[in-house]
Amino acid sequence: MPLKEDEIEKKVILLKLLLREKDESLEEALAALADTKMATMQQLQALLKELQNEGYVTNDGNLTLIGEAEAKKAKEEFTL
């Protein structure tokens, strides 16, 4: 079954949070994704809020254990 667009975007957000630099803030990470024109900053913030509500991301922008597992799974899916 194909993924919905917002599901792909959520996976990309999780992957970005997994791979972000130690000194990169949450806002900088989202801005980098917005720069790719994948989604607007407003859309990315809404998706981040959904990920927080679903338990994948903490309120301070870190991955939970479940979020980290999903991000690693996304990394495998996106790797050719």
pLDDT tens sequence across 14-40: 999 999 998 999 999 999 999 999 899
Amino acid at 61: G
Place of tokens 């407003």: 42
Contacts of 12 (CB under 8 A, 6+ apart): 33, 38, 74
- 18, 70 Cβ separation under 8 angstroms: no
Average pLDDT rounded to a whole number, residues 59-79: 94
- pLDDT higher than threshold 70 for residue 1: no
Lookup: tokens for 40: 């607007």
Please state the domain extents for the chain: 5-78
Lookup: tokens for 55: 């338990």
What predicted TM-score, i.e. pTM, was given to this entire model?
A: 0.89
Contacts of 18 (CB under 8 A, 6+ apart): 63, 68, 71, 72, 75
- Greater confidence (72 vs 79) lies with 72
